[in-house]
Structure 1
Amino acid sequence: MKLIIDTDPGVDDTLAIALAVAIPEVELLGLTAIFGNTFVKQSSRNARYLLDFLGYDCPVAEGAALPYGASDYTPSANVHGDEGLGALTTVPEIGKNIDETAAAFLVRMPAKNAGELVVCAIGPLTNIADALALDPAFATNVKSLVIMGGAYAVPGNITPHAEANIYHDAAAADVVFATKMPIVMVGLDATMQTLLTPEDFEAMAVTSPKVGGFVRDISNFYLGFYRSVGVFDGCPMHDSTALLACLFPERFTFEKSGIKVALSGDDIGDTVADASRPEVDVAVGIDAKWAVEYAMAQVATLD
């Protein structure tokens, strides 16, 4: 499967990128960077650093720095750390971004691989909305857009109503859900079922000292955040769950629904069922035991 990951690395993004490199069926054609867990320049730097660390060569294209209509943005340092990778205080600049915007790259690659390329968007959806604005044919050239975002029948994680990726650019997300592109929404309904425990991270480090050890080390910060908000059993594989939906939809339970994003008020960022919108596949369940075991097994192949 040909794949582009639109990402804001990010502790859970790191595991998703590692899985994409590890899974034999995936041909990772590039990473597009977006603001979110970090400022966008940190996102693209982290993406290049992780690709080098994983020994994988593909382009990184830097995208939007701000949400639609915003003049500034503050990342989620309390969740992912000041540099996005847990307690790490310095991340080296390795390599360079390609001389092409994320939106232009997202338009060009599906056009070159029409009907074959899946885009997995695991940050705010601004780059995706920008690609649609640049060339509406993007919507029909992609095989599918798999989104980590939204809270369909469960509470949000950044407000009582909203999931963080959608909340951080609700206007862009609403543009994306209004299109007729094939969309799979993998939100908190599914991702909160896939908890990785501290013991799981320790087991990763044993089977994969380099990559699994790194994931364990940066995840200690992330586990601490979840404990601070009352989740004591572990931390969810948000982004990795979306990646798994690209490859193994049979492991998920889906409902079809149109989605509208609330754009104002206390419920801004809420993903609401709307029969007037084009239907998307909304993940409402997952074989969580399989997902965790599969992710750990794949990480073990990387060292």
Structure 2
Amino acid sequence: MKLIIDTDPGIDDAMAIAYAAAAPELELVGLTTVFGNTHTHQSSRNARYLLHRLGLSVPVAQGARAAWGKAEHNPSSHVHGPEGFGDLVEIPDIGENHATPAAEFLVQMAQEHRDELVICAVGPLTNIADALGLDPEFASNLGRLVIMGGAVFVPGNVSAHAEANIHNDPRAAQAVFQNPPKTVLVGLDATMKTLYQSSDFEALAQHSPDMGGFLRDISEFYLRFYKEVVGVDGCGLHDSTAVIACSHTHMFDLVETGLSVVTDGDRVGATLPDASNPPVQVCRDVDGPAVVELFTRHVASLP
């Protein structure tokens, strides 16, 4: 399966990219970057650094710097740290971004790999919405779009109503759901059932001293946030769960519904069932232990 991850690394993004590198059924053919957990230039630097650590020669195409209608973005540094990787602040700037901007890169790759390409969007949906605007055939060219975002049947994580990725650009998300490719939404309904605890990170580091050790080290900041702010002992495998859904949909309970996003007011970012929009598949439940085991098994195989 040919896969592009649209990403804002981000600690859980780093975990998802490591999983994609290790999973034999996935062929990672590109990363596109977006604002979210970090500024976009940090996302791109972090993505290139991760690929270097993983020994992968994969293009990184830089994308949107802010949400539709906004000039700037305030990153989630309280969740992911000032540079996106927890307490790690000295991150080498290795390599260069692809010459083509993210939205154009996505359009070109969908044309080149028609019906075969899966895009897993684990940040705000700005690049995806921009690609849809660039090419009216983008949606039909894609094999599938898998989104980590939304909280359709459960509370949000940045407000009572909204999940962070959708909240960061609700207008772009609404545009995607009004004209979706074949889409699977993996939101908090599923990902909060895939908790990864400090003991899991320690076991991962024992089997994979380099990459597993790196993920363990940067996760300490993330785990503190979850314990002190969320009150949970462990972090959700948010982005990794979405990547796993690209190839292991049998692990998920899927319901079909159209979706819409509240774009202003006190419920901004809420992702709601809406029969007037084309249907997408929404993950309502997941075999959480199976996802955790699969993630660990594959990432533990890395050096």
Q: Indicate the larger mover: 40-49 or 229-238.
A: 229-238
Ranges in structure 2 where 5+ consecutive residues have no aligned partner: none
CA contact (8 A) 2:162 2:269 kept: yes
1:112 aligns with 2:144: no
Give 1:229 deviation, angstroms: 1.8
Take 2:175 and 2:227, find their aligned partners in 1: how far apart are those partners? 34
| Matched letter for residue 148 of structure 2 | M
Take 1:298 and 1:19, find their aligned partners in 2: how far apart are those partners? 6
Name the structure 1 match of 2:161.
161
Give 1:256 deviation, angstroms: 0.6
Residue 272 of structure 2 aligns to a residue whose secondary structure is: strand
| Matched letter for residue 28 of structure 2 | L
| Matched letter for residue 96 of structure 1 | E
Give 1:266 deviation, angstroms: 0.7
| Matched letter for residue 215 of structure 2 | V
Q: Indicate the larger mover: 226-235 or 156-165.
A: 226-235
Give 1:181 deviation, angstroms: 1.4
Name the structure 2 match of 1:209.
209
Residue 258 of structure 2 aligns to a residue whose secondary structure is: strand
Name the structure 2 match of 1:262.
262
Name the structure 2 match of 1:241.
241
Give 1:180 deviation, angstroms: 3.9
Structure-to-structure mapping, 1:30-41, within 5 angstroms:
30-41=30-41
Name the structure 1 match of 2:301.
301
Structure-to-structure mapping, 1:1-303, within 5 angstroms:
1-303=1-303
CA contact (8 A) 2:223 2:233 kept: no
- Report the TM-score, using the length of structure 2 for normalisation: 0.99
| Matched letter for residue 284 of structure 1 | R
Give 1:39 deviation, angstroms: 0.2
Ranges in structure 1 where 5+ consecutive residues have no aligned partner: none
Residue 106 of structure 1 aligns to a residue whose secondary structure is: helix
| Matched letter for residue 20 of structure 1 | A
Equivalent pairs, count: 303
Give 1:183 deviation, angstroms: 0.8
Residue 9 of structure 2 aligns to a residue whose secondary structure is: coil
CA contact (8 A) 2:60 2:97 kept: yes
Residue 37 of structure 2 aligns to a residue whose secondary structure is: coil
Take 1:226 and 1:272, find their aligned partners in 2: how far apart are those partners? 26
Task: Name the % identity.
Answer: 55
- Report the TM-score, using the length of structure 1 for normalisation: 0.99
Stretches of 4+ aligned residues off by more than 4 angstroms: none
| Matched letter for residue 263 of structure 2 | L
* CA deviation profile, 1:206-242 (whole Å, cap 9, x unmatched): 1111111000000000001111223332000000000
